[in-house]
Amino acid sequence: MAGLRLGPDDSELSQQSRAAPADLISDDDRSVAADSWSIKSDYGSTLDDDQRHADAAEALSAANLRAPSDYSSDKEEPDAEGVTSMLGLQSYWDAAYADELANFREHGHTGEVWFGADVMEVVTSWTKNLCIDISQGRMPNHVDNIKSDPVEQGDKYLSDWSVLDIGTGNGLLLQELSKQGFSDLTGTDYSEGAVDLARSLAGRVGLPNIHFLVDDVLDTKLGRQFQLVVDKGTLDAIGLHPDGSIKRVMYWDSVSRLVAPGGVLVITSCNSTKDELVQEVESFNQRSVTQEHDETSKDKFQYLSHVRTYPTFMFGGSVGSRVATVAFLRN
């Protein structure tokens, strides 16, 4: 299943390769990270942050979910490698992207591709087909079976799609979406180093139409909505924070305001299966109905489709894959 962690191989970068901070973080940075577990130090010190943290904790309690120290509310047992990680801390990513930015300036290195280049290619081509299908008035069933149109034909559909990549990192996912025919592209990350690197890389290949902004998805200041919101690994990292369960509640509250009605959210994860992501969305829908005190209101998100072409393997009598990519429609 997607939640299983496998050893890295030569053909695919795994999350474990990013989890080795020895070359990226100094002893001082580790000390900072160890002291950065609170909402105040990671996401600001405003009263609004504290209130949103309290609201999310109350929502978890009302839903009888697990304590904030657990990684995911839909897992019966904590992950064998522990429920928290350095990857859940902003201080880790600030140090990592400072290192990658220095490497780019010195050697021109692009940096790591989260989940590997093969997965990114699958995500972008599959997302393109999904959006074209929706633009043509068809609700997808098996998007993988749709033959991809040439990019020049897809442009007439894709040019109307505004795209937001949350936790954009080095921005390479948006570069690939641009190649697929999308043109209204925005990437956000809470790490200034990531945004600086993404701008530099996009400028190097002549893609000035991609806009990169410093913004924290858990406390977004964006004043617009998007037809397509993509997340490749950001929800995973949020869940690895010591307060991961609470932050995941905050994530869904925020993302639901970023996706325009009728728009699509595409999440790619290596820590959650397709079924676990669908269950998490259903839990969010139920919380929203309770908070709005309106049992007749529609679900905010509904499952659309998922990638079915990732390689699978058998483990413990179950069939799964390293990665899950799932699309949800914003009602």
Condensed to tens digits (0 to 9), the pLDDT of residues 303-322 reads 999 999 998 877 777 777 88
Contact indicator for 227, 160 with CB cutoff of 8 Å: yes
What is 266-281 written as a DSSP string?
EEEESSS-HHHHHHHH
Structural tokens at position 31: 């000390």
Report the C-alpha gap between 31 and 27 in whole angstroms.
6
pTM of the predicted structure, to 2 decimals: 0.75
Question: The domain 154-330 is classified under which CATH number: 3.90.45.10, 1.25.40.10, 3.40.50.150, 2.40.50.140?
Answer: 3.40.50.150
Contact indicator for 52, 250 with CB cutoff of 8 Å: yes
Condensed to tens digits (0 to 9), the pLDDT of residues 137-168 reads 988 764 444 444 554 566 789 989 999 999 99
Condensed to tens digits (0 to 9), the pLDDT of residues 31-83 reads 333 333 222 233 333 335 565 555 555 555 454 443 333 333 333 344 434 44
Q: Could you tell me the residue ranges of all domains in the chain?
A: 154-330
